[in-house]
Amino acid sequence: MQKSAKTSARKAPAPEVVIPDKLYFRIGEVGRLCGLPGYVLRFWETEFSQLKPPKSSTGQRTYRRPDVENVLRIKKLLYDEGFTIAGARQQLKAEAKRKQTPLLPFAVPPANLSELKQVRQGLKEILGILGSHRHAASGD
């Protein structure tokens, strides 16, 4: 059985984009960097809350590095990974939530449990030493 050309042809991954080291980018620069027309960037601003570049006093959009990174991430989700706009929006929200969720200090993987017990024992010994010095200094 032969696969159709559509299912066997895979899209080549997009080349890695090097973002220049500067503070602000105009929409035209972002478009050239990301290979997108300005109207797509303006549309994405209406669809993705993560993409809200402020405007300068002259009304120019001033993208910063995180904005450009967001554009590239959105482009990857939509064009390379095949997400719909709604799906990409959910994916970005899930990724942001994962970044914000701190690791709980008491959630120790079992492999580190023995190390934790050693640290605890060391701290108890230090408390004992400090306690004996405190009593000796006060003349008890």
Beta carbons of 106 and 37 less than 8 angstroms apart: no
Q: Mean pLDDT, to the nearest integer, of 120-125?
A: 88
Q: Phi, psi (5° rounding) for residue 61?
A: -70, 135
- Considering the entire predicted model, what is its pTM? 0.62
| pLDDT higher than 50, residue 7 | no
pLDDT digits (tens, 9 = 90+) for 14-37: 668 888 889 999 999 999 999 999
Query: Quick one: pLDDT at residue 14?
Result: 60
In the block, residue with structure tokens 């690791």: 103
Residue 90 parent element (H or E): helix 85-100
Question: Does domain 14-100 sit in CATH 3.60.15.10?
Answer: no
Cβ atoms within 10 Å, residue 82? 10
What type of residue sits at position 28? G
DSSP-assigned letter for residue 110:
G
Q: Give the model's pLDDT for residue 41.
A: 97
Structural contact between residues 92 and 73, judged by C-beta atoms closer than 8 angstroms: yes
Q: pLDDT tens across 33-84, in order?
A: 999 999 999 999 999 999 999 999 999 999 999 999 999 999 999 999 999 9
Decide which of 6 and 33 is more confident: 33
Residue 109: pLDDT over 80? no
**Residue of 29, 65, 57, 30 lying closest to 44 (CA atoms):** 30
Q: Name the one residue in this structure whose structure tokens are 């549309």.
A: 43
